[in-house]
Amino acid sequence: MGFSSYECNKCKKSILSHHAVDHYQGEIPFRYTESVWFPKKDMEPIIGYYDGYGNVTDDEGQETNVYAMMEHEPEQVYECMVYHEDCWHEAGKPTKWVPSNHAEDQGFFVGTRRYS
Ligand SMILES: [Zn+2]
């Protein structure tokens, strides 16, 4: 399985893998590097760096697999809500459940122009 990601609920740009951020060194503004994940309704958000494979690492180095926490029965559709951290703050830290769209670029195969 390759990279997988979702679009930010505010700006509709992808939640980027930290591998993409490294790959496009300096071309992607810092504001898109941390993200806020709600793998389920009514839970506290998980905030950190996304690796593109479902793992989010917070500032203290704690890694959480958000895919393992998502609801996916009965149709194997994995739903979560996610924002770039800056976007989440700008939007007033919303917690009302609105599932995010899957990112076709998988959070990695991005055109940097979209992020400048
Ligand atoms: Zn955003």
Q: Residue 38 — left, alpha, or beta (φ > 0 → left; ψ -120 to 50 → alpha)?
A: beta
Q: Which domain holds residue 77?
A: 18-115
Q: How many whole angstroms from 102 Cα to the centroid of ligand 1? A: 14
What is the number of domains present in the chain? Answer: 1
> Is residue 44, in this structure, part of any structural domain at all?
yes
Token code pair at residue 23 = 């790959």
The total of other beta-carbon atoms located within 10 Å of residue 82's CB is 27
Q: Which of these, 105, 28, 21, lies nearest to 57 by C-alpha position? A: 21
Strand, coil or helix: 79: strand
The total of other beta-carbon atoms located within 10 Å of residue 3's CB is 20
> Is residue 56, in this structure, part of any structural domain at all?
yes
Q: How many whole angstroms from 14 Cα to the centroid of ligand 1? A: 7
Q: How many whole angstroms from 69 Cα to the centroid of ligand 1? A: 22
Token code pair at residue 22 = 């490294």
> Is residue 84, in this structure, part of any structural domain at all?
yes
Tell me the pLDDT tens digit for each residue of 7-40: 999 999 999 999 998 888 888 888 899 999 999 9
> Is residue 95, in this structure, part of any structural domain at all?
yes
Q: Which of these, 11, 2, 1, 15, lies nearest to 102 by C-alpha position? A: 15
Tell me the pLDDT tens digit for each residue of 62-111: 999 998 898 777 666 788 999 999 999 999 999 999 999 999 999 999 88
Model-level pTM greater than 0.85?
yes
